[in-house]
Amino acid sequence: MAKVITTELQHSGASGANVTLDSSKNVTCENNLQVDGNVTVTGTLPADKLTGALPAISGASLTGISSPGRAHNLIINGAFQIWQRGTSSNLVGYRTADRFKTSFAGTHEDPTRSKLALTSSDTGPWAAGFRNAYRITNGNQTSVEAGDKIKIEYKVEDQDLACSGWQAESTSSYLTMSFWLRSSVAQTYYVILESKHGTSKQYSFAATISSANTWTKITKTVPGHADISFGNDNGEGMDIYICPFVGTDESTSGHTLNSWKNTSGSDQVPDMTDTWYDTDDATFDLTGLQLEVGDTATDFEMRSYGDELLRCLRYYYRTGHGQSMANDTAIAQGYNRNTTTGQYTHTFPVPMRVPPTAIESTGTVTDYKISQLATGTVCDAVPTFDTANTLQAHIYFTVASGLTAGYGSRASTYNGAGKYIAFSAEL
Amino acid sequence: MKYKKLTKINPDVQIYARIEDDGKSYINCNDQNPDFKAWVDAGNTPEAAD
């Protein structure tokens, strides 16, 4: 076989070599290299050898790339941007951040939930873009009983899971949950997922805080199970519990973590240390809660304030949306049924999950007013519910006297800023 | 906490005021309200209207 032995190849019109060859078998192309066939690398091509300005390369032919999950967070208000009900409460139930409630029992001093404004010193969540967290401040629990508990609770709507793409009945299809957690007490806490449609199943896992007062990113991938299914409806699909403390009425020493089992009231988590619960004013902070389809935790799906508010309004709506409305803000236009009662239709900003069954008010009758022509009359009863569908509610305002039956009238707030009415369609 | 019937405005609908321990009422509802139903299911009976 003939060989050409040389160190350079040069075009007749070039001022220097196009290709140089050295004794170590390196080949250097001094300018562009065009390959009309395939390029095969039999050795390795380390990433650090791909230097310089790379061209745009289509990923259509790339294979072997694991699924990054879908950038879709099934949790609403996971960044705790929306607080229509208020920013601090020690009452049970939905009281502060939208879509989240805290249930507790057996406490000697009720825990306080509050909006925690993060700062640049909140290493981790701050850099990830979070500006709020949901804080529980424990009360002074003078003893620990079996029935004691404090749980953060979130309910996912059935059809959101049914249409999520998660093949819930498959053990090789996954949900991934991620969140930032911080506590003033380093210990192991627990999280429970509870499917609600059909045969209810529970899945529990540990969320360990190794260092007090330090934000920790918790990530957990959960497989499906043959018994789990979801309906394409507006009922409860899955409940999520994040537990600062659960007493032995709901825990078992031999509890098995990290697997689905039939729902049990008494075997939800392993027996928990009561260190956090037994510490007066201990804190428990949560933000960045994300639940997504796939086996990988992706970056949190940041939504605009407006987008997140619209999602929340499906479940709860307060006039003002958490902002303080000015005095004498109109609530509705309507007409007078008689000399004491005005009837009004109040339209919701978005269709609610189900027709509300109640109206909420400030509880103070003089916070409301009916105006007829140029005359305003302060109410002598709080606004009263009549009927509702998912789009609007019929309500009544009542005064002692002075209305003209059949006249048009206007219902409004009164007695200062911050008055409201509200409707709930929470799960 | 307790519930009390309100005098009917709409003759077809009975509304109940939820009376808190401080005597104030922040919520009034119909008989399909989940909290009201749970309270009734627990064996409680609303007070009559004034």
Report the distance separating Cα A34 and Cα A52, nearest Å.
Answer: 17
Task: Please answer yes or no on whether A387 and B32 come within 8 Å at the CB atom.
Answer: no
Report the distance separating Cα A22 and Cα A27, nearest Å.
Answer: 7
Contacts of A387 in chain B (CB under 8 A): 10, 13, 30
Mean pLDDT of all residues in A361-371: 97
Mean pLDDT of all residues in A374-400: 97
Mean pLDDT of chain A: 93
Task: Please answer yes or no on whether B28 and A385 come within 8 Å at the CB atom.
Answer: yes
Residue of A nearest to B19 (CA): A363
Instruction: State phi, psi for A305 to the nearest 5 degrees.
Output: -55, -45
Closest CB to B25: pick one of A357, A363, A396: A363
Angle CA A58–A62–A67, to nearest 5: 110
Q: Residue A172: which pLDDT band, with cuts at 50, 70 and 90?
A: very high
Residue A71 in this model has a pLDDT that exceeds 90: no
Task: Please answer yes or no on whether A357 and B15 come within 8 Å at the CB atom.
Answer: no
Task: Please answer yes or no on whether B9 and A387 come within 8 Å at the CB atom.
Answer: no
Residue A175 in this model has a pLDDT that exceeds 80: yes
Which among A385, A390, A419 is the top mutation candidate for probing chain B, defined by the most B β-carbons within 10 Å of its own β-carbon? Answer: A385
pLDDT of residue A25: 87
Report the distance separating Cα B7 and Cα B50, nearest Å.
Answer: 7
Which among A384, A394, A420, A427 is the top mutation candidate for probing chain B, defined by the most B β-carbons within 10 Å of its own β-carbon? Answer: A384
**CATH fold for the domain made of A88-313:** Jelly Rolls (2.60.120)
Task: Please answer yes or no on whether B28 and A337 come within 8 Å at the CB atom.
Answer: no
Q: Residue A2: which pLDDT band, with cuts at 50, 70 and 90?
A: confident
Q: Residue A35: which pLDDT band, with cuts at 50, 70 and 90?
A: confident
Domain locations along chain A: 1-33, 88-313, 316-424
pLDDT of residue A363: 95
pLDDT, tens digit (0-9, with 9 covering 90-100), for A180-222: 999 999 999 999 999 999 899 999 999 999 999 999 999 999 9
Question: Which residue is it, tokens 């409630």?
Answer: A101
Least confident of A46-55, A170-179, A346-355: A46-55
Closest CB to B9: pick one of A341, A362, A364: A341
pLDDT, tens digit (0-9, with 9 covering 90-100), for A333-346: 999 999 999 999 99
Mean pLDDT of all residues in B30-49: 97
Task: Please answer yes or no on whether A359 and B28 come within 8 Å at the CB atom.
Answer: yes
**Structure-model confidence comparison of residues A48 and A392, the more confident one:** A392
**Structure-model confidence comparison of residues A220 and A16, the more confident one:** A220
Q: List Cα–Cα distances, A249 to A28, A104, A253, A266, A268, in angstroms.
A: 74, 13, 11, 6, 9
